[in-house]
Amino acid sequence: MDITGTVAVIAGGGGGFGSASARRLAAAGAKVAILELDEEKGTKVAADIGESALFIKTDVTDEISVQQAIDRAAELGPVRIAVIAHGGGGGVGRTIHNDGTPHSLEVFRRVVDVFLTGSFNVLRLAAARMATLDPLADGERGVVINTASIAAFDGTIGQAAYAAAKGGLVGMTLPVARDLSPLGIRVMTIAPGTFLTGAYGDRDPAELEAHWGPAVPFPKRMGRPDDYAQLVQQICENRYLNGEVIRLDGALRFTPRGV
């Protein structure tokens, strides 16, 4: 796909992956709609990018909120790209805690709702908008890029909820790609490893790098948001990428405790 002149909706556009993707796609000629629940983060990213960006406060778990956001994004032009990279907390906790209490069902449901159901909500509504567009080369109308995690494949102790949600994204990639293929809409999923993003909160980046960097086979460092954004751009531009999950992890494999 030629990115120039398209509109990209970025769910979680105020976060590390989302903001890097928004900046990169804008630099490649797209207009970007920053779908973000955090007004401060979303507004800042849109302001940094400039006239080609629009912030839209959005709750990915709410059907009306996402539909309204996509409708507003479509006012900028043809929505042909959707990057789904929102966060919301990993719900860390063992199935049975050390004190004998079971994992919170409410927390489990919330994690799945945000990461899995919320992602599908954005995907289905963005795809419905793409389906109305005139086809481009090879009959392509658009591309949707989900964000899973290598925890979907080798989740660590305490990651039951997060791994289940991200595993769901991995599992739905091929069937949804098959669903949407007659419409010329591609579906891909990126499964990042350890990246220096806001997911680690206020922890010192140097401390994080010292912990995780040596565990990565090559390159021996944590991922950077632009590593993710670069892959987003490459997926958009390569029409033959469809229905696949790409691990972006420097060949890292989690052990039961992470490293």
The pLDDT value given to residue 180: 98
Residues with pLDDT less than 70, the chain: 89
Would you say 170 and 152 are in contact if contact means Cβ atoms under 8 Å apart?
Answer: yes
The pLDDT value given to residue 202: 76
Please say if 162 is a catalytic residue: yes
The pLDDT value given to residue 144: 98
Of 162, 200, 228, 240, the catalytic one is 162
Domain count across the chain: 1
Model pLDDT for residues 66-91, shown as the tens digit of each residue: 999 999 999 999 999 999 999 876 77
CA 52 – CA 44 distance, rounded (Å): 14
Its domain, for residue 216, covers: 7-248
Burial class (CB in 10 A: 0-12, 13-18, 19+), 68: middle
In a domain, 123, yes or no: yes
The pLDDT value given to residue 157: 95
In a domain, 257, yes or no: no
In a domain, 255, yes or no: no
In a domain, 117, yes or no: yes
CATH number at residue 43: 3.40.50.720
Model pLDDT for residues 213-232, shown as the tens digit of each residue: 999 999 999 999 999 999 99
The pLDDT value given to residue 258: 81
